[in-house]
């Protein structure tokens, strides 16, 4: 073997070992820098995708647009009234907790974000949103829509973040089943290649009294995902070797995500 080739192999192996020795914070920093570098390409591809969709989508006439606009304005006004009522209830709840000397419920701040695109990975279910570290987004923050839990943030760029979807096997949530005391771990399917992937709620009791149609919520254990986020609905329950497992239909339609909310858990107010 030529000396140059031997030297090349030695350098290659040495570089490989150096990469394997990188610690987690360094790896994350590298990934975030690379994501920031490729951010213009991501935004451009999303713009191209939107333009193609706009051309191919059937046009709406002005009367239809005006009606839709009016419906949306009324919906916004209705939601403003509900939000006002919600804030009043939160204040009242806080005051009552204080009187009863209960620990304050931890409020959370939500940041709205637009979905740029589904990611181009091989075996992982992720998507990219248009808010990042400079917009107040943190790593490992829950991401939700009005339908339920979407997933969790991963890599961050200054104005972009990767979200690992609930349908990915990597994103596991401590969950409870409505109407029972059963708790388990909810996770997606490996590679999640189906058009509508299902979720698996594992480590339940054998012969647990779980009916099809029961809602599944996050339990709040682990401190990552807040409690009582809707995750999905039980399709069926089956016994495994030593525990039970429920097949769950996700609450969120992952094929039609446009806007999401990133939750930042704030410090508990004493």
Using CB under 8 A as the criterion, which residues of the chain lie in contact with other proteins when the complex forms? 1-2, 4-5, 7-9, 11-12, 15-16, 19-20, 22, 24-25, 27-28, 30-31, 33-35, 38, 41-42, 44-45, 48-49, 118-124, 126, 139-140, 152, 154-155, 162, 164, 169-174, 183, 185, 189-191, 193-195, 219, 221-225
- Residue 133 is classified by DSSP as G
Burial of 117 (0-12, 13-18, 19+ CB in 10 A): middle
C-alpha separations of 204 from 135, 213, 231 in Å: 39, 16, 16
Kindly give, in sequence order, each residue whose CB lies less than 8 Å from that of residue 232, ignoring residues fewer than 6 positions away.
148, 186, 199, 215, 216, 248, 249, 250, 251
Integer Cα distance of 165 and 121 in angstroms: 13
Q: How far is the CB of 31 from other proteins (least distance, A)?
A: 5
Tell me how far apart the alpha carbons of residues 162 and 160 are, in angstroms, rounded to a whole number: 7
Strand partners, 130: none
Smallest gap, in angstroms, from Cβ of residue 250 to other proteins? 17
| Distance in Å, CB of 266 to other proteins, minimum | 17
Token pair in block for residue 91: 């204040």
Shortest separation between residue 202's beta carbon and other proteins, angstroms = 10
Secondary structure letter of residue 50 according to DSSP: H
**Given the complex with other proteins, which of 108 and 124 has the nearer CB atom?**
124
Kindly state the smallest distance separating residue 161's Cβ from other proteins, in Å: 10
Q: Nearer Cβ to other proteins, position 105 or 170?
A: 170
Nearer to other proteins, 57 or 100 (CB): 57
Q: Which is nearer to other proteins, 170 or 247 (CB)?
A: 170
CB of 228 to other proteins, least distance (A): 14
**In the complex with other proteins, which residue's Cβ is closer, 37 or 72?**
37
Which tokens sit at 137?
Answer: 């987004």
Between 15 and 87, CB nearer to other proteins? 15
Q: How far is CA 246 from CA 189, 193, 225, in A?
A: 13, 20, 20
Q: Least distance from C-beta 90 to other proteins, angstroms? A: 25
Report residue 116: phi and psi, to 5°: -85, -55
CB 189, CB 198: distance < 8 Å: yes
Tally the residues of the chain. Answer: 270
CB 251 within 8 A of CB 232: yes
Q: Closer to other proteins at the Cβ: 41 or 61?
A: 41
């Amino acid at each position: 073997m030529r000396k140059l080739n031997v030297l090349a192999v030695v350098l290659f192996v040495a570089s490989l070992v150096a990469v394997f020795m990188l610690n987690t914070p360094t790896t994350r920093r590298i990934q975030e820098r690379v994501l920031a570098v490729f951010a213009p390409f991501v935004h451009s591809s999303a713009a191209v995708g939107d333009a193609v969709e706009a051309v191919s989508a059937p046009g709406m006439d002005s009367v239809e647009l005006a009606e839709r606009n009016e419906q949306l304005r009324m919906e916004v006004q209705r939601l403003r009234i509900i939000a006002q009522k919600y804030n009043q209830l939160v204040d009242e709840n806080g005051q009552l907790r204080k009187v009863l000397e209960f620990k304050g419920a931890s409020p959370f701040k939500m940041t709205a974000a637009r979905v740029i695109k589904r990611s181009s990975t091989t075996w992982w279910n992720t998507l990219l949103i248009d808010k990042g570290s400079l917009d107040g987004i943190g790593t490992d923050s829950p991401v939700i829509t009005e339908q339920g839990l979407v997933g969790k943030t991963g890599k961050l760029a200054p104005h972009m973040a990767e979200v690992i979807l609930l349908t990915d096997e990597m994103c596991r949530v401590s969950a409870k089943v409505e109407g029972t005391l059963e708790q388990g771990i909810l996770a997606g399917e490996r590679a999640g290649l189906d058009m509508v992937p299902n979720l698996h709620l594992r480590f339940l009791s054998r012969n647990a009294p779980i009916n099809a149609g029961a809602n599944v919520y996050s339990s709040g254990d682990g401190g990552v995902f807040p409690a009582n986020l809707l995750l999905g609905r039980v399709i069926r329950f089956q016994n495994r070797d030593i525990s039970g497992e429920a097949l769950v239909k996700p609450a969120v339609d992952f094929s039609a995500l446009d806007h999401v909310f990133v939750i930042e858990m704030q410090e508990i107010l004493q």
